[in-house]
Structure 1
Amino acid sequence: MLNKGFGNWIHRRRVKSADHPAVIHAGVSLSYAELAERINKLSDALRERGIGAGSRVAFLGANHAAFLETMFATTQLGAIFVPLNIRLAPRELNFALRDSGSELLIHVADLAADAQAASADSPVSQLLEVAMIPGQDSSYERALQAGSSEHKDVNVQLEDPAIILYTSGTTGTPKGAVLTHGNMTWNSYNVIVDYDITSKSVGLLIAPMFHVAALGMGALPVLLKGGTLVLQERFEPAAVLDAIQRYKITQLSGVPTTFQLLAEHENWAAADLSSLQMLTCGGSAVPLRVLEAYEERGLGFSGGYGMTETAPGTSMLQAAYSRPKMGSAGLPHFFTDIRIADGQGQALPAGEVGEILISGPNVIEEYWQRPEATEASFHEGGWFRSGDIGYLDSEGFLFISDRLKDMIISGGENIYPAEVEQAIMELPEIESVAVIGVPDDKWGEVPRAIVVLKPGSTLDESDIEGHLNGRLARYKIPRTSVFLNEFPRTASGKIRKSDLRKQFS
C-alpha cells in the first residue's frame, strides 16, 4: 500500500475485525466494516469538494462518531485535520481557521451559529452540518452517502503532517502544533506497549477528542488494536457510572476532579465497576483521599505526563507505583526519552531540578507557520523544551515541580505551586486549589491560594495557614487566600492560571 499513515488504519482493521464494534455513540454502534465504509464515502465526498494532499479540513464539535470519520477520511487523502475547541469564542475559532488556512468546516448542528460566525472572513468556503444523532439526515450525511465506498490508496508517508492542534492559548496567541502521521503512530505504539491495550479493550471517552489526551491516549491506540470506543459528549457522573456497567468498560481516563466527582456521586456505592481494568489520571497528581476511595473498590491509578507537542505521551506511572512513587509522573514511555537540563540544555544529575526536555518519534518538529517559535522550542540535538521543570530520581522516575512560567520567586527562593497545592489538597474540605504569585514590596512575590470548597464545607484563611505550618517552609505558605465557587478551566479540565493571575494578582 502507498498509504503509510494512520488515516489508513480503519481500512486495514476492517479485514481483521469486520464485525467487531468500533465506535458506540448515542446508542448507535458502528462495526469496523461499517466505519471503514463510511470513511471511504466521506473521503470521496471530500475529494469531490477539492480536498487533497495538504488541504486543511476543520471539525467543530464535541465527541461524535463524525469526528473520527472526518479525521480518518481527511488524513486518508493526505490532507490535514484541524480539530477545534468548542469552548472557544467565534473570534478565537476564526483565528484557528485563518491561521490554518482551513478550506472546509464540518460542525455539529448545535454549533451552527458559532460555525457560521467563525467562518466569516476566513478561507472556509464550504460547511457541512452533522446531526446530533449519528446517521440522521444532515448535509454531512447526504454528502457522505453520495460518495463512493471504493477505497483509494493515496501516497502518505509517516513524516507527512496529519493534524494541526492549537495550544490552549492560556498565554499569548495560540500556536498550531503540527502532528505528523509518525507522531501519532509512535505515540499509539507507546500507549499500547505501556498500557497493555488489547482488541478486547473497551474505552469510555469522556474528555473531548479535540484535546490531544483523549485523541492520542484514548481513541487512536484502541482503534489501532481493534478495541471499542464508547463516546460521551460531556462528563456527567451518573452517565459515566451507567456506561461502565452497560458496556463493560475496561478503561477510563480523566483528571483528578473527574474521579473525585464519580466517587462522591450517590450511585457510586451501588455501581458495578468489575469490568474496569485501567484508570489513567492526568493533569496533576491524584489527591490521597481520591486514591483511597478507588483502592477501597479494588482499583488503582496509572498516571502520566505529556503535552500537545508530544502527541501527547511523555511518561507513565504504573498503578503499582501509585503509592511507592506518589507524586511522580512515572518513567519515560517506551520509545521516548527524557532529560533534565540546565538553561543551556546540558543534562543534570539525578535529583537536580531543571527543565524537562523530551526526544522521540512522537515529538513534533514544528509549529504551523511559526519558525521563530519552532526554533525557540528546541535545544541542540532535537530535544524539545517542555517549559516544565522537574527532576529524575535515582531510578529514573520523573517528578514535575511546576511550569517555568508558574514558578514563584519570593525573596530569591523558588516556590513551586504544585508542591503547595498538593499540601493544601490534604484538607478534606477543599475541592480544588491553585496557587499563584502576587506582587509584594518586600519579597518581590508571595504566594496566594485560590480555593474552591466542596459543597457544604466551611474553611477560612487561618485554617489553611494552620494546616501548612510545619508542613512547608514559611516562605512557601500563602499569605492570603481567595475563595471561589468554581475555576476557569481549559477543555482538558486544567485550571486557567493565567485568568486567575489577571483577576487576583
Structure 2
Amino acid sequence: MRKGWPPSSRTGHRSSVGSRARCQHCFHTPLFSSFSLAFRSIPDMNANLFALFESRFPADRTACCIETHDGLYYSWDDLDRATAKLANLLASLHLPEGARVAVQVEKSPEALFLYLATLRAGYVYLPLNTAYQEAEIDYFVGNAEPSVVVCSSKNFGWVSKVAFRHGVNHVFTLDDDRSGSLLSRAAGKPDAFETVARQDDDLAAILYTSGTTGRSKGAMLTHRNLASNAQTLHEFWGWRSDDVLLHMLPIFHVHGLFVASHGALLAGAKMIWAPRLDMAQVLKFLPRCTVMMGVPTYYVRMLQEPRFDDDTCRRMRLFVSGSAPLLLETFDAFRERTGHTILERYGMSETVMLVSNPYDAALGERIGGTVGMPLPGVSVRVVDGEGQPCTPGEIGNVEVKGPNVFKGYWRMPEKTREEFTEDGWFKTGDVGRFGGAIASQAGERAVPDNYLTIVGRSKDLIISGGYNVYPKEIESFIDEMPGVAESAVIGVPHADFGEAVVAVVVRKPGADIDEAALIGTLKGRIANFKVPKRVHVVDELPRNTMGKVQKNVLREQFAVL
C-alpha cells in the first residue's frame, strides 16, 4: 500500500448510558460520567480540540488512521507529523491572534490535516463549500477577513484576485492528488509542534449557513462546542477503537468534518476515505467497515444496487443518517434488506448534534420518521408562538440549550440577540413536536413523549386562510401513496387565502400519478385547508450539496398557481 503525505522513508507500517429526565417544559438527558467530565475537570489542561484528539491517539502510532479509496495509507504518526508541518507553516506566517484560515478545496486526507493543523496552531478554520462561485467567495472572504486562503489550483486565478482585493496576504493551493503550494511550502518545516493552548470559549471554526433566506451568517463554534459534542457522541453511539468508518461525506460541512471525522479521531479508530458516494467503492469497502454516515440519498442509492445485501454489511454495527429527512419507506426498506436499523439524528451548523435515536437498545428503539431523544447534556423544548410550552403531540418551535450551542453569528450581534431567548435558549428555526404519532402505510404509530419529530422549517410554514399548515405533515401522507418516490409541499401566493398549498411530487420509475386522484385521497385523510390546491409531478427535487430540498427554488418555479 502506498504511503500518503508527508513524505517518509520509514517502512513497515501496518493497517490496522445515561437516563432520561424531564425538566420543566423541555426534555434533556444528563451527561454521561465519562472521559468528557474527567477531561474538563483539570483546570490547567489545554482546551484546544486537537489536544483532546491527540490524547486519544492509539499507543501504536504506526497503525492505520486513514486508508484512501485509491490505496494510500496514513498512519497516526503520519497525521501527527503532517499536522505539525502544516501548523509550523501557519505559525511562520506570523498571523494575528484569532486569524481565520479559509479553505475551499476538494476532499483529501491532506485537507483534513489542514483543518487539524489550523486548530493545533490556535487559529480558526473556515470551510467553504466547493460549489461556491466567485460572488459567494467574495462575500465570505470580505465578511470573515481571513488571513490565509487555500483553494484548488484550478481556481487559483479568480480566488487569488478575490483574496488580494480583500487584503489577504497568503493564498495557497491544495489539490486532492497531494500537490499544490501549501504542501510544497510545508514539506520543509519541522515535523514536531507543540499544540497551542486554547481556552474553552476560544473560536475553533466558523461555518456559514446556506443563506436561503438572505445573506449567509457565520456561526462561531468554540473548542468547547466541538469537544463536548464529540465526547457525547463518542459515548452515545458506542464508538470503539476497533471501529472502521466508511467516510464518503464532504468535509466542508458539520456532518463530514465534525460528526464523522471527530468520531473516528476521538475513538482512535480507522477511516476508509472516499471522495464521494460510489457504489463500487461501497461494495468494496463496506464489508471491512463497522460504521457509516450518510445523507438519505446515500441509502436510497444503496438500495437501488442489487448486489447490496446483508452480506455486504456483515461487520457493520451502525448506519447513521442526517442532514436531511429520511423517508420512512427508505428506513423500512433498508432494515428489510440488511437487517440493520438506520439511526437518524438531528443537528445544525450552529449546534452540531442535538438529538439522536439511541444506539443502545436499553435507552429505547430507533423509530423511523423521528430524530430521537435529546443527547446527554442537551436540553430541547418545543414552544408556541408566545413562548409557552407545547404539550406532547402539539407542534411548535424547537429551541435548544447546551454546551454545544454556538457562541453567536460572526460580526452580527443584533442577529445573535434575535436568535436567542431572554432565558438563553437558541431558536433553531425548526418546527417540531415531542411525542404524537407517525403516519405509515400500516397506520399511525405512537411516538414516546421524549422523542422529537421535525415537521419543517419555520420559514416553510404556510399560512392559508389564517390556518397554519406544516409541510412535513402533508409530505408524510403523500410519501406513503402508491407511485410516489418523494414530495415537497410549499406555499405560493393566493389572492383569497394569502398562501395556497402546492405539492411537488417525484414519481417512482414507471408509475403514473394522477393529480385529481392524489388530491381526492388526501381530502379523505387530512383537513381540507391542508389539501394541496395543485400537484406538480417532476423528475427530481432540487437539492443542495448535503441533500436538502431547496424549497426556495420550488417556490420560485411554481409561484403561479
What residue identity is the alignment partner of 2:343? S
Displacement, 1:330?
Answer: 0.9
- Which residue of 92, 100, 103 maps to 1:56? 100
Name the residue aligned to 1:435: 489
Q: Which segment drifts farther, 149-158 or 322-331?
A: 322-331
- SS at 1:132's partner residue? coil
- Which residue of 228, 235, 241 maps to 2:270? 228
What residue identity is the alignment partner of 2:139? F
- Which residue of 453, 466, 469 maps to 2:507? 453
What residue identity is the alignment partner of 1:395? D
Separation in 1, partners of 2:99, 2:158: 22
Do residues 404 (structure 1) and 458 (structure 2) align? yes
- SS at 1:3's partner residue? coil
- Which residue of 509, 518, 530 maps to 1:464? 518
Displacement, 1:451?
Answer: 2.3
Displacement, 1:129?
Answer: 1.7
What residue identity is the alignment partner of 1:228? K
Separation in 2, partners of 1:419, 1:238: 36
What residue identity is the alignment partner of 2:150? I
Do residues 370 (structure 1) and 412 (structure 2) align? yes
- Work out the number of aligned pairs and report it: 500
Name the residue aligned to 1:166: 208
Do residues 218 (structure 1) and 260 (structure 2) align? yes
Do residues 154 (structure 1) and 208 (structure 2) align? no
Displacement, 1:179?
Answer: 0.4
Is the contact made by 1:340 and 1:355 (CA closer than 8 Å) also made in structure 2?
yes
Residues 260-317 of structure 1: CA deviation (Å, up to 9, x unaligned): 111012432486211221111224443233223222221101111111111x111001
Separation in 2, partners of 1:288, 1:150: 49
Displacement, 1:197?
Answer: 1.1
Name the residue aligned to 2:539: 485
Is the contact made by 1:300 and 1:322 (CA closer than 8 Å) also made in structure 2?
no
Do residues 31 (structure 1) and 75 (structure 2) align? yes
Separation in 2, partners of 1:116, 1:430: 47
Separation in 2, partners of 1:197, 1:270: 22
What residue identity is the alignment partner of 2:471? P
Do residues 418 (structure 1) and 460 (structure 2) align? no
Do residues 294 (structure 1) and 348 (structure 2) align? no
Displacement, 1:239?
Answer: 2.6
What residue identity is the alignment partner of 1:300? T
Do residues 3 (structure 1) and 57 (structure 2) align? no
Displacement, 1:461?
Answer: 1.7
Displacement, 1:359?
Answer: 0.4
Structure 1 residues 306, 145: CA separation in 2 closer, same or farther (over 3 Å shift)? same
- SS at 1:190's partner residue? helix
- Which residue of 308, 315, 336 maps to 1:275? 315
Q: TM-score, normalization: structure 2?
A: 0.84
Structure 1 residues 456, 239: CA separation in 2 closer, same or farther (over 3 Å shift)? farther
Separation in 2, partners of 1:330, 1:189: 19
Do residues 132 (structure 1) and 186 (structure 2) align? no
Residues 72-125 of structure 1: CA deviation (Å, up to 9, x unaligned): 111112110000011111210121111111121222345445634543522332
Displacement, 1:181?
Answer: 0.4
What residue identity is the alignment partner of 1:193? E
Do residues 304 (structure 1) and 358 (structure 2) align? no
Name the residue aligned to 2:16: none
Do residues 473 (structure 1) and 473 (structure 2) align? no
- SS at 2:372's partner residue? strand
Is the contact made by 1:489 and 1:496 (CA closer than 8 Å) also made in structure 2?
yes
What residue identity is the alignment partner of 2:236? D
Displacement, 1:432?
Answer: 3.0
Structure 1 residues 117, 499: CA separation in 2 closer, same or farther (over 3 Å shift)? farther
Separation in 1, partners of 2:53, 2:407: 26
Displacement, 1:178?
Answer: 0.3
- Which residue of 202, 215, 220 maps to 1:178? 220
What residue identity is the alignment partner of 1:430? V
- SS at 2:409's partner residue? coil
What residue identity is the alignment partner of 2:48? G
Structure 1 residues 333, 324: CA separation in 2 closer, same or farther (over 3 Å shift)? closer
Is the contact made by 1:410 and 1:443 (CA closer than 8 Å) also made in structure 2?
yes
Is the contact made by 1:379 and 1:385 (CA closer than 8 Å) also made in structure 2?
yes
Separation in 2, partners of 1:158, 1:5: 7
Do residues 70 (structure 1) and 114 (structure 2) align? yes
Matched-pair identity in %? 31
Displacement, 1:255?
Answer: 2.5
Displacement, 1:364?
Answer: 0.6
Displacement, 1:454?
Answer: 3.4
Displacement, 1:424?
Answer: 1.4
Separation in 2, partners of 1:90, 1:383: 36
Name the residue aligned to 1:88: 132
Residues 220-276 of structure 1: CA deviation (Å, up to 9, x unaligned): 12101101222222222333232213xx12112222222111101243248621122
Displacement, 1:52?
Answer: 5.1
